Amino acid sequence: MKLKSVLIATFFTLIAIQFPIYPSNKSNANFSITPQQDSIIQSALNLIKSESISNKIAKLTNFKTRFMLADNRKDIAEWIKNQFVSMGYDSVFIDSFTITVAWPPHSRNYYTTYQYNVICTLEGKKNPDDIYVLGAHYDCLTLGKSSDPLVISPGADNNASGVAVCLEVARILKSTGFKTKGTIQFVAFGAEEFMTMQKDGFTGSQHFVNEAIKNKKDIKFMIDNNQVGNTTDRSEWNLNFQNNEISLHITELAHNICKRYTSISPVNTNNHIGYSDSYYFWKNGYPSIFFEEYDFSPYNFTLEDTPAHIDFGYCAEVAKISCGMLLYSNFITH
């Protein structure tokens, strides 16, 4: 969740109020699935493990900091790339871009740096030009007089949890050998926390979308997981479906997958639709949905955002929604 959300929340809240919330909390009666497809999805989702997600979050927080201005940012991108490669993916690359930001925020101390997106591609077997994106930002930030994000910024919930979901879904799709109809791209975005605050250049998702537009890519939808690890009541799991006016069909699909395959209760909202990587997708005509914890972590942007405060079972349930949506949308029918 980007820093701007803390600094100018009222502004984006007013923007969000202009849009009705889509759709109703009821699943689509037109949702159809064959017994074979249902079995394939259920079998795949059964392979999602909270222990695997826990391990990924722990390793990301072991970097001590993932602040976008820290010297280790390329090392983190390389680590994420190697995770995809270790799963058996052979189309994985790091895409660099530049951004100029002020640090501290609103100061006149400007830094221009290279930042990095990690893009892993599972090519479609029937319609490879149809692209489905599962993304999450890997940078993080701590605020406060006693903290220095250049040294320590654990970011377990914000947003190692989202990256762990992306990696876990990639692991499942590769290990099952699922033949996808369209192309799926797993993307770890850099430089999200300073979204819309840059003096020059682009954030990771903004750069990705700009390249997609330039190359006339046909992105069918984008799924964004941002802060999906915190709950206050482990007996009742809720999840915000941050949706937008052009993505009704994607939100309906998310509802149906969530209802059929998880124990999560979805909550439709749009109060944070300007706060995450999905923003640049739907603003440029690409349907998207942004999953976010319903019980917002009190440790956001603090040194206490550590794995000790993550509900890994909840995070695994969230991962099932993204995985199910990608599977359902990519069955090859004859």
pLDDT, tens only, 202-234: 999 999 999 999 999 999 999 999 999 999 987
3-state secondary structure of 207: helix
Residue pair 196/4 in contact by the 8 Å Cβ criterion:
yes
Dist. CA 210–CA 267, nearest whole Å: 30
Residue 12: predicted pLDDT:
39
Residue 5: predicted pLDDT:
52
pLDDT beneath 70: ranges in the chain:
1-29, 334
Residue 147: predicted pLDDT:
87
Tell me which CATH code domain 4-328 carries.
Answer: 3.40.630.10
Dist. CA 160–CA 222, nearest whole Å: 19
What is the model's pTM?
Answer: 0.93
Residue pair 134/274 in contact by the 8 Å Cβ criterion:
no
Residue 25: predicted pLDDT:
54
How far, rounded to the nearest angstrom, does the alpha carbon of residue 241 sit from its chain's CA centroid? 12
Helix, strand counts (H, E) of the chain: 10, 9
